[in-house]
Amino acid sequence: MVKSCVDTDLLIVDANFPGGNIIVDNIEGDTVFLRPDQRDSLKWWFYWYFRVRGAAGRTVKFQFTDKNPIGTQGPAFSTDGGHRWMWLGPQSAQDSSFTYVFDRQSREVRFCFSIPYLEADLYQFLGKYSDNLYLTVRELCRTRKGRSVERLHAGKINEEPKYRVLLTARHHACEMIASYALEGFLESILSNTPVGHWFQNNVEVLAVPFMDKDGVEDGDQGKHRRPHDHNQDYISDSIYPSVRAMKQFVPQWSEMKLKVVLDLHCPYIRGKYNELIYLVGSSDPAIWRQQQEFAAILESVREGPLPYSAKSSLAFGSGWNTDANYGKYKSYSRWGGEQPGACLATTIEIPYANAGTSIVTTDNARAFGRDLAIALRRYLENSAE
């Protein structure tokens, strides 16, 4: 896909790389006028990711020309081609613009709404476990554009497990922080620790890191995709290959041992419900009770720096979590709760930039994923009593 690229007086602003997204309207002196590329989104969304070259020694203002797509910590930025990221901070932003002072030696700086996570990041993570006996990498399907959708099996994968768990992320392509939590969860399962050993002896986890793989790599918003997005596709006539493959594979794989279905998401850009971690309550009273039980366990065992309170769970009928929001579609977590044997099925929302007063980083998002693993062990142990 050709991304927007503008070259004015050697200042080059473009998104021609995996995950890139920007439309540059104009460059006037040291001010760049730009906006997120909405592509096939039915509603405005806020994902953007671009790079700047040829700006050494300059102070450049980036002015968004539509709604304000800058998060609570300003943009994330990288000076090494997207390997390491930092927050520029809220002081860098004013209304719908931010300003950056480029070092005199600067060759390229990347800016993103949050901290990106792409296929290359997944394979860097998997490379650390290439000889781990408790992980295997397979393929769920191929996307419309021919990309591989990875299907990971972790834990007790060489013998029949006591429990099975299904874990997914990126039903909405832009929700990148969820991927770091997924990494942390898998780290725990594969680790030489008491938690890791318990999973390796009891649980097979099936994880799909990128449900919308094309959207992630192409830099799409993914949310509100026309005619509907991946998380709305769990209906009788699913249109996305990954959803069709999920619906076909899971029932034969689970063998009535699937107990927990977790879907990791990120919420809206800012404001109420969007700056804290929370579970999205089910309309099914039995599953809602299990969600409340799991939430209480998660709060009690949390060791990582990101705050979490069981009281933050968004009950069905509250806020945006209503029948009107779902309409005629069925979400992944609702479909998961319908699987034979499943006791707990939930969406977990993890903020893009701050959780309460804590700034979200890749490290503490992974730490939250490890907390999820600890909580899940306790939940499954309790369910067996």
The CATH 3.40.630.10 portion of the chain extends over 119-384
5-112 carries CATH number 2.30.40.10: no
More confident residue, 376 or 323: 376
Mean pLDDT of the chain: 97
Task: Reply yes or no on whether the pLDDT at 2 is more than 50.
Answer: no
Whole-number percent of the chain with pLDDT over 70: 97
pLDDT of residue 327: 86
pLDDT of residue 7: 52
Query: Could you tell me the maximum CA-CA distance found in the chain, to the nearest angstrom?
Result: 70
Over residues 15-66, the pLDDT tens digits come to 999 999 999 999 999 999 999 999 999 999 999 999 999 999 999 999 999 9
Mean pLDDT of 342-356: 98
Q: Report how far residue 344's alpha carbon sits from residue 351's, in angstroms, rounded to the nearest whole number.
A: 22
Q: What spatial distance separates the first Cα and last Cα of the chain, rounded to whole Å?
A: 53
pLDDT of residue 1: 46
**Quick one: pLDDT band at residue 225, thresholds 50, 70, 90?**
very high
SS (H, E, C) 175-193: CCHHHHHHHHHHHHHHCCC
The angle, 0 to 180 degrees and rounded to 10, between the axes of the packed helices 285-301 and 362-384 is: 120
The CATH 2.60.40.3120 portion of the chain extends over 5-112
Task: Tell me the pTM.
Answer: 0.96
**Quick one: pLDDT band at residue 384, thresholds 50, 70, 90?**
confident
Over residues 277-330, the pLDDT tens digits come to 999 999 999 999 999 999 999 999 999 999 999 999 999 999 999 988 888 999
Mean pLDDT of 229-252: 98
Closest CA to 303 of 165, 385, 163, 195: 195
**Quick one: pLDDT band at residue 385, thresholds 50, 70, 90?**
low
The CATH H-level superfamily of 119-384 is Zn peptidases (3.40.630.10)
Residue 119 exposed, middle or buried by CB count within 10 Å (0-12, 13-18, 19+) = middle
**Quick one: pLDDT band at residue 10, thresholds 50, 70, 90?**
confident
Over residues 76-134, the pLDDT tens digits come to 999 999 999 999 999 999 999 999 999 999 999 999 999 999 999 999 999 999 999 99
Mean pLDDT of 178-202: 99
**Quick one: pLDDT band at residue 5, thresholds 50, 70, 90?**
low
